[in-house]
Amino acid sequence: MNYRRILLLIGVLTLVFTLVLTGCGAEEAADKNEEDQEEKQEEEEQEAENNDNNELEQIAWNQNTGNEDYQDGTYRGVFSDGGEMQVNVQFTLEDNEITDIDFRHLTYGGEDYLEPDDDTTEGLKEQHMELLDYLEGEDVRTGLAALYEPGGIVDDEVDGFSGATLRANKISYAVRDGLNRGVYSFDDIPEGYNPVLGESFEDGTYRGVFSDGGEMQVNVQFTLENNEITEIDFRHLAYDGDDYLESENELVVGIKDQHKELLDYLEGTDIRDSLVDLYEPGEIVEDEVDGFTGATLRSNKIISAMKDGLNKGVYSGDIAEAYTPHPDYSFEDGTYRGIFEDGGEMQVNTQFTLEDNVITEIGFRHLSYGGEDYLESDDDTIEGIKEQHKELIDHLEGTDIRVSLADLYEPGEIVEDDVDGFTGATLRSNKIIYSVVDGLNKGIYSQP
């Protein structure tokens, strides 16, 4: 009897022990399953964040136009060099295909190719038109590459000028400039379109321009703090040679005030939300000036100018210690050209060559201020200031452009010589930064 009780007790204990172990195992399995789910969710969130970051990088800057879908619409862009606008194009995209493209301005050395005075210039114009004809119907992301070998497109020779001698890369630069600025105009604004959607911008002051038809028309300066436009104003506003900021003509003054009303609308707003509103200026400006209503204003020129500033990064301000334009990118080997324009004139024009992101060569193609050509002046003071600027670009040569370019925000650390009171600290070296970044934004000008 006692023996049976002992066996029964052992059986009960065994059963209880088994149930306890099973329960613990189930609990551990449940805990492990929960941990696996949490880990998987974290991985998915991290992957989504990485994808978002990758998308932002593509939106913020795109060197070779190869990996981005472009918004349907009409674009305008320019190529300027040596102190003058040389190429100005307008083109329309539909599903990334160039459906229409034409010149708005085409000059060299002061010669207007669109209004030729002789047979040679007429022939050169036709050669350039042939290049545009080639692009029409091409995918903008891949078709531009052919312009590096224009001899494969243009067969005719004009007084010794063959297709191979054409500077077709100027057209490529102008098209890329248009792409960087975003859509200039729409037939109908797509729902949800925003020229700066998703980006976050460094605090500081920015400058940008819109040029068209051979002249700078809009030049803006604006300050951002946590993406909010805290201050904005025109530095230049002109059309067809008429300076809207200086004119005393009542009609022009009225139109100037309409444009300022557009800027006033932006002040105090998040640039990522409000800039798109300028595509519909009639919703902002209600006053009419001699038949010019808000709806007739070319406010897309302001959009283009502000996009230009954003594309080039911070011009001045309390620059964050770790800030550098275009960090973490790797640039294509080749030669680049870029400009800085302000106040109605080109002031800095640089050309530089990169190899494995190192600046192997850099020089000025144009350097001026207030109409004074610093590269050609015989004045001793101007000559000294020119040498100070050359010292700045000498600092860049042989360095990784992604690291050294930001050094120019503190020129006093580079240039020590004083020229008639002009020290390194007083140099506007940020103009060089803007010029170099402009070149990077447009990709290589010529291949190695």
For position 282, which CATH number holds?
Answer: 3.90.1010
Query: Cα dihedral sign for 20, 23, 27, 28?
Result: positive
**Statement to judge: residues 142 and 224 lie in one domain:** no
- Asked whether residue 319 is domain-assigned, the answer is no
How far, in Å, CA of 308 to CA of 246, rounded? Answer: 24
How far, in Å, CA of 103 to CA of 324, rounded? Answer: 35
Residue 444 CB-density burial (10 A; 0-12 exposed, 13-18 middle, 19+ buried): buried
**Statement to judge: residues 239 and 292 lie in one domain:** yes
pTM for this structure?
Answer: 0.83
CB 225 within 8 A of CB 218: no
User: What's residue 41's pLDDT?
Assistant: 52
- Asked whether residue 65 is domain-assigned, the answer is no
Q: Which residue has the tokens 């990064």?
A: 313
User: What's residue 38's pLDDT?
Assistant: 52
Query: Cα dihedral sign for 70, 440, 67, 91?
Result: positive
How far, in Å, CA of 237 to CA of 240, rounded? Answer: 11
- Asked whether residue 160 is domain-assigned, the answer is yes
Overall domain count for the chain: 3
Residue 378 CB-density burial (10 A; 0-12 exposed, 13-18 middle, 19+ buried): exposed
Consecutive H or E run containing 437: helix 430-442
- Asked whether residue 277 is domain-assigned, the answer is yes
**Statement to judge: residues 239 and 208 lie in one domain:** yes
Strand partners of residue 103: 89
N-to-C CA span, the chain: 102
Residues of the chain with pLDDT under 50: 1-4, 6-9, 12-13, 15-30, 32, 40, 43-66
- Asked whether residue 329 is domain-assigned, the answer is no
- Asked whether residue 64 is domain-assigned, the answer is no
Cα distances (angstroms) measured from residue 419 to each of 104, 377, 381, 388, 425: 42, 15, 7, 8, 12
- Asked whether residue 323 is domain-assigned, the answer is no
The beta strands (E) that lie in 288-430 are given as 334-342, 345-355, 358-369, 372-373
Strands 334-342 and 345-355: antiparallel
**Statement to judge: residues 361 and 430 lie in one domain:** yes
**Domain coverage including residue 366:** 334-442
How far, in Å, CA of 448 to CA of 336, rounded? Answer: 11
How far, in Å, CA of 410 to CA of 48, rounded? Answer: 38
User: What's residue 36's pLDDT?
Assistant: 53
List Cβ neighbours of 436 (8 Å cut-off, separation of 6 or more). 336, 338, 350, 352, 396, 401, 405
**How many CA atoms within 13 Å lie on the side-chain side of 15?**
6
Three-state DSSP state, 420: coil
